[in-house]
Structure 1
Amino acid sequence: MMSLSYGSADTQLALDGLRDWATLQWYVIPLLAIVFYIYAVEIKKAKQTKNWDAVICGLTVFGMDFLNETWNGWVCWLTQDQAFWTAPGETALRTMVGWNIEIMFMFALNGLVFYYMLSEKKETKILGIPNRWFWAIGLAAFCVLVECFLNLGGHLTWTYPFWNRTFAGVWLIFLIGYFHFYVACILILNIKTQKNRVIAIASIYGVAILMNVIASIAGWVY
């Protein structure tokens, strides 16, 4: 793949060792086993109960994160300077300029966490807000808080002046960084047929995969 010298020091640092399998650490194996085990249990439960909502939420959030990291990488290449966010800190495997294996494991489970926070009754409200939307707001806000701490530690860096810890910047991170993950879950859960749910999820992954295929053919590095 073509190499590129980026203007942002953080971006350049995040690209060092990009998709370098020599950086892998053994702790990845038990983490992978935990994710596999949890999904195996959820799939078994879904087969028994015919309720696939937990698995749907899990796959939806991970797919949305995959899509998010992909367009962030496109920004990095198209500007030939910097992405909205980069992950230059130590990692067992950096998969994209702003994505690593640890983040991937977390978001593989994040959608399941969202599902199990939901009330069994869709109409249930919390503080006057429909419970699905309450937890979508709550989890997105928590993710923003975690990202702010990661930024303070230099593990997740921001370079654009509008993407920061100011009031306006935090709202932007909330809306573009996380909230739409859970909105996608809610919208897909509202779809009546399982077939159309699968089509919706496949579309999310399809767009992300297509964007990465295009980038790979073009020789883009992110």
Structure 2
Amino acid sequence: MTDDARAALEQLRDASQFEWYVIPLLLLVLYAYAAEVERRNWNVLFAGLALWGMDWFNEIWNALVFHFSGRAPVWGARGDTAYQILIGLNIEICFMFAVMGIVAAKFLPPRGTRVLGLPNRPVLIAVNSAAAVGVEMVLNRAGVLTWEWDWWRAGFPFVLFLVGYVPFFLACFVVHDMPRVRTKAVTVGTILGIDALALAVFGTLGWL
């Protein structure tokens, strides 16, 4: 086991690390969603939940990589946190991804708008994903987000780009553009349902 993985593991689900700032952060996240419900802006609401659900999916398989390799997760979250949920996910990161999809969806132009002559959705998926990878590189250099595998690192960011973020923004934008609210709800419900089932099963087995 690597030193960074051990450091993250030592604080995993340690309730003694709780800090009160979690409560106002939670309220801010809830407010962001409540505002979309009030406006009946279902496109943005479900887009935000879709991205959040996709992050949970990634966090779960990342924890499974650590369990089965016994060496390290693909990415680990270490350092001060109010609560470490999974080895690569703390409560602050969870809240960040909960609002990231809302922010991304709010910046979406009409589907017919072109960027540099190209359809805007693929361009914005690439731009948002690249920006997120850039932020992760900064966090990695700061030592609070660790990478332990050669194929997931700053010198070779393509897998991080394609696996770590493109699916997030793809799901976010696809759900946003779905024509029916029911279809959005079913899609997001499926994503979150798979996440919940995986957490229940793998958590019970002690693999997370």
TM class by smaller structure: over 0.9
Amino acid at match of 2:51: V
Partner of 2:36: 42
**1:54 partner amino acid:** V
Asked if the contact 1:114/1:136 (under 8 Å) is kept, the reply is no
SS in structure 2 opposite 1:161?
coil
User: Partners of 1:40 and 1:191 in 2: how far apart?
Assistant: 21
Counterparts of 2:48 and 2:177 in 1: how far apart (Å)? 15
> 1:149-168, aligned counterparts within 5 Å?
149-166=138-155
Q: 2:4 matched to 1:10?
A: yes
Q: Which residue of 2 is the match for residue 32 of structure 1?
A: 26
TM-score for the superposition, normalised by structure 2? 0.95
By how many angstroms is 1:102 displaced?
A: 0.8
CA distance in 2, matches of 1:66, 1:172: 18
Kindly state the Cα deviation for residue 181 of structure 1 after the two structures are TM-superposed: 0.4
Q: Structure 1 stretch 103-112 or stretch 185-194: which is displaced more?
A: 185-194
**Equivalent in the alignment of 1:20:** 14
Gaps of 5+ in 1: 1-6
- 1:61/1:111 contact within 8 Å kept: yes
How many Å separate the matches in 1 of 2:154 and 2:121?
Answer: 27
Could you tell me which residue of structure 1 aligns to residue 49 of structure 2? 59
- The structural deviation recorded for 1:170 is 0.8
1:193 aligns with 2:180: yes
TM-score normalised by structure 1 residue count:
0.89
Q: CA deviation at 1:195?
A: 1.7
Shift of 1:190: 3.8
Task: Specify the SS of the correspondent of 1:157.
Answer: strand
SS in structure 1 at match of 2:72: coil
> How far does the alpha carbon of each residue in 1:52-106 deviate from its partner, in whole angstroms, 9 at most, with x for none?
1010111011000111101101111111221100001211111100001111111
> Aligned to 2:66, which of 53, 73, 76?
76
Residue in structure 2 matching 1:139, options 122, 128, 141:
128
Alignment of 1:82-101 (within 5 A): 82-101=72-91
Q: How far apart in 1 are the matches of 2:71 and 2:152? A: 15
Residues 138-193 of structure 1, C-alpha deviation per residue, up to 9 Å, x if partnerless? 11111100100000010000000111111xx2111111111110111222234332
- Contact residue 105 and residue 176 of structure 2 kept, 8 A: no
CA RMSD of aligned residues (A): 1.3
Counterpart-to-counterpart distance in 1, 2:203 and 2:85: 14
Partners of 2:118 and 2:167 lie apart in 1 by 17
SS at 2:60's partner residue? helix
Kindly indicate whether residue 112 of structure 2 is the aligned counterpart of residue 112 of structure 1.
no
| Long gaps (5+) in structure 2 | none
User: 1:204 corresponds to which letter in structure 2?
Assistant: I
Does the aligned pair in 2 maintain the 1:87–1:156 contact within 8 Å?
Answer: yes
